[in-house]
Amino acid sequence: GAGVSQSPRYKVAKRGQDVALRCDPISGHVSLFWYQQALGQGPEFLTYFQNEAQLDKSGLPSDRFFAERPEGSVSTLKIQRTQQEDSAVYLCASSYYDGLAGTDTQYFGPGTRLTVL
């Protein structure tokens, strides 16, 4: 089936604007993750959902960042009053639990590249 999709792929915002980034996970995947990847760095964990429940949001850098997954499928990451330091690629991943391996396998989307001017 289709992989994880994200939209838009590219977003340019003026400082102070609000942005919303969308993630469509693989159908049936219970878990959904958001990561922030700064230029030249590895992805950094932002938040995690299991179905519609946000179980961990410890990686969100400030209260300007908000994520939701109201029906346990599509998720939106919202950034209010964007700042230049928010410029990064935002990656979404969804996963299923591999009972044999005893761990989740995460499948990543292509990311949304956010540039804040």
For other proteins, the closer of residues 86 and 111 by Cβ is 111
Q: How far from the centroid of its chain's Cα atoms is residue 85's Cα?
A: 17
- Residue 26 Cβ, how far from other proteins at the closest point, in Å? 12
CB of 61 to other proteins, least distance (A): 16
Distance, in Å, from the CA atom of 117 to the CA atom of 111, rounded to the nearest integer, reads 19
Binding site for other proteins (CB under 8 A): 4, 31, 33, 35, 40-45, 48, 55-56, 91, 93, 101-111
Question: What number of helices (H) and strands (E) belong to the chain?
Answer: 0, 11
**CA separation, residue 14 to residues 39, 63, 73 (Å):** 19, 19, 29
- Our CB check for other proteins shows the closer of 35 and 65 to be 35
- Residue closer to other proteins, measured from CB, 52 or 56: 56
